[in-house]
Chains A and B, each alone.
Chain A
Amino acid sequence: MKNRGFSPFRFLTYLLVIGAYAALQVLQARSELSATMRGMLVPICAYVVMAVSLNLTVGVLGELSLGHAGFMSVGAFLGTSTAIALQDRIPVAGVRLAVALVVAAIFAAVAGFLIGIPVLRLNGDYLAIVTLAFGEIIKAIFNNLYLGVDAKGVHVSLLEDATNTAETGRLIIQGPMGIGGIQKISTFTAGFVLIMISLIVIFNLVNSRAGRAIMAIRDNPIAAQSVGVNVVKYKMMAFVVSAALAGSAGALFAMNYSTVVANKFDFNTSILILVFVVLGGLGNMFGSIVAAAVLTILPEALRPIAEYRMLLYAVLLILMMLIANHPFVRGLFNRFKRTGQIQLEAGADETEGEVA
Chain B
Amino acid sequence: MKKKLLCALLALSMLFVLAACNGAPAENPGNNDAQTSGDTNTPGGAQTPDDTQAPADNGESQSEPEPAAPDDQAGLSGETEPEPAAPVEGAFKLGGTGPLTGGAAIYGNAAKNGAQIAADEINAAGGAVKFELRYEDDAHDAEKAVNAYNALKDWGMQISLGSVTSKPAEATSAESFADGIFSLTPSASSPATIAGKDNVFQMCFSDPNQGTASAQYIGMQNLAKSVAVIWKSDDVYSKGIRDTFLEEADAQGLDIVSDTTFSDGNATDFSVQLNDAKNNGAELVFLPMYYEPASLILAQASAMGYAPKWFGVDGMDGILTMQGFDASLAEGVMLLTPFNADATDDATAKFVAEYQRRFGETPNQFAADGYDCVYAYKQALEAANATPDMGAAALNDLMKAQFTSMTFRGLTGDEMTWDASGAVSKLPKGMVIQNGAYVGMD
Report whether B142 and A260 are in contact in the complex, using a CB–CB cutoff of 8 Å. Answer: yes
Which one, B33, B143, B154, B192, contacts A35 given CB within 8 A? Answer: B154
List A contacts of B175 (CB < 8 A): 258
Report whether B101 and A310 are in contact in the complex, using a CB–CB cutoff of 8 Å. Answer: yes
**From residue A327, how far is it (CB to closest CB) to chain B in Å?**
17
Instruction: Assess A335 versus B2: contact at CB under 8 Å? Given A35-B154, A258-B174.
Output: yes
Within 219-241 of B, Cβ neighbours of A (below 8 Å) are at: 233-236, 239-240
**From residue B103, how far is it (CB to closest CB) to chain A in Å?**
11
Interface residue? B167 (CB, 8 A) = yes
Give the interface size class of chain B. Answer: 35 or more
Interface residue? A94 (CB, 8 A) = no
Which one, A261, A303, A304, A343, contacts B142 given CB within 8 A? Answer: A261
Report whether A303 and B34 are in contact in the complex, using a CB–CB cutoff of 8 Å. Answer: yes
**From residue B261, how far is it (CB to closest CB) to chain A in Å?**
9
Interface residue? B15 (CB, 8 A) = yes
Report whether B171 and A19 are in contact in the complex, using a CB–CB cutoff of 8 Å. Answer: no
Interface residue? A169 (CB, 8 A) = no
Interface residue? B47 (CB, 8 A) = no
List A contacts of B20 (CB < 8 A): 301
Within 138-188 of B, Cβ neighbours of A (below 8 Å) are at: 141-144, 146-151, 153-154, 167, 170-171, 173-175, 178
**Which of B3-11, B62-70, B358-366, B394-402 has 4 or more CB atoms under 8 Å from chain A?**
B3-11
Instruction: Assess A259 versus B171: contact at CB under 8 Å? Given A300-B21, A303-B151, A304-B24.
Output: yes
Distance in angstroms between the alpha carbons of A36 and B25 in the assembled complex: 9
List A contacts of B372 (CB < 8 A): none
**From residue A30, how far is it (CB to closest CB) to chain B in Å?**
12
**Which of A95-103, A176-184, A214-222, A348-356 has 4 or more CB atoms under 8 Å from chain B?**
A176-184
Instruction: Assess A143 versus B234: contact at CB under 8 Å? Given A184-B174, A264-B143.
Output: yes
Distance in angstroms between the alpha carbons of A246 and B230 in the assembled complex: 36
Instruction: Assess A34 versus B264: contact at CB under 8 Å? Given A143-B233, A258-B171.
Output: no
Interface residue? B263 (CB, 8 A) = yes
**From residue B243, how far is it (CB to closest CB) to chain A in Å?**
8
Give the interface size class of chain A. Answer: 35 or more
Report whether A297 and B17 are in contact in the complex, using a CB–CB cutoff of 8 Å. Answer: yes
Interface residue? B323 (CB, 8 A) = no
Interface residue? A20 (CB, 8 A) = yes
The contact string, 1 if C-beta is below 8 Å from chain A, for chain B 90-123, is 0000000000110000000000000000000000
Which one, B26, B40, B195, contacts A307 given CB within 8 A? Answer: B40
**From residue B32, how far is it (CB to closest CB) to chain A in Å?**
10
Distance in angstroms between the alpha carbons of A290 and B7 in the assembled complex: 11
Query: Is the contact region of chain A dominated by helix, strand, or loop, or is it mixed?
Result: helix
Distance in angstroms between the alpha carbons of A259 and B144 in the assembled complex: 13
Distance in angstroms between the alpha carbons of A106 and B83 in the assembled complex: 54
Instruction: Assess A300 versus B41: contact at CB under 8 Å? Given A290-B14, A293-B14.
Output: no
Report whether A181 and B196 are in contact in the complex, using a CB–CB cutoff of 8 Å. Answer: yes
Report whether A264 and B233 are in contact in the complex, using a CB–CB cutoff of 8 Å. Answer: no
Report whether B3 and A38 are in contact in the complex, using a CB–CB cutoff of 8 Å. Answer: no
Instruction: Assess A303 versus B24: contact at CB under 8 Å? Given A36-B151, A257-B146, A297-B18.
Output: yes
List B contacts of A39 (CB < 8 A): 146-147, 149-150
Which one, A32, A175, A294, A301, contacts B24 given CB within 8 A? Answer: A301
List B contacts of A144 (CB < 8 A): 233
Interface residue? A8 (CB, 8 A) = yes
Listed residue (B21, B22, B136, B147) with the most chain A CB atoms within 10 angstroms of its CB: B21
Report whether A176 and B233 are in contact in the complex, using a CB–CB cutoff of 8 Å. Answer: yes
Interface residue? B37 (CB, 8 A) = yes
Distance in angstroms between the alpha carbons of A176 and B289 in the assembled complex: 14
**From residue B118, how far is it (CB to closest CB) to chain A in Å?**
21
**From residue B160, how far is it (CB to closest CB) to chain A in Å?**
13
Distance in angstroms between the alpha carbons of A20 and B13 in the assembled complex: 12
**From residue A281, how far is it (CB to closest CB) to chain B in Å?**
12
Within 1-36 of A, Cβ neighbours of B (below 8 Å) are at: 8, 12, 16, 19-20, 23-24, 32-36
Instruction: Assess A34 versus B236: contact at CB under 8 Å? Given A264-B143, A301-B21.
Output: no
Report whether A258 and B170 are in contact in the complex, using a CB–CB cutoff of 8 Å. Answer: yes
**From residue A348, how far is it (CB to closest CB) to chain B in Å?**
13
Within 297-336 of A, Cβ neighbours of B (below 8 Å) are at: 297-301, 303-307, 310, 333, 335-336
> Which B residues have a C-beta under 8 Å from some C-beta of A?
1-3, 6-7, 10-11, 13-15, 17-18, 20-26, 28, 31, 33-35, 37-38, 40-41, 100-101, 136-137, 141-144, 146-151, 153-154, 167, 170-171, 173-175, 178, 190, 192, 195-196, 233-236, 239-240, 263-264
12 A-B pairs whose Cβ atoms sit less than 8 Å apart in the complex: A8-B3, A35-B154, A36-B147, A36-B154, A39-B150, A177-B192, A258-B173, A293-B14, A300-B21, A301-B21, A307-B40, A333-B6
> Which A residues have a C-beta under 8 Å from some C-beta of B?
8, 12, 16, 19-20, 23-24, 32-40, 43, 143-144, 175-178, 180-181, 184, 257-264, 286, 290, 293-294, 297-301, 303-307, 310, 333, 335-337, 339-340, 343
Contacts A263-B234, A264-B141 aside, 17 further interface pairs with beta carbons under 8 A come to A16-B7, A34-B150, A37-B22, A38-B150, A175-B233, A176-B234, A178-B167, A184-B178, A257-B143, A297-B21, A300-B21, A303-B137, A304-B24, A304-B33, A306-B34, A333-B6, A340-B2
The 6 tightest CB contacts between A and B, nearest first, are: A258-B174, A340-B3, A39-B150, A35-B150, A35-B153, A301-B21
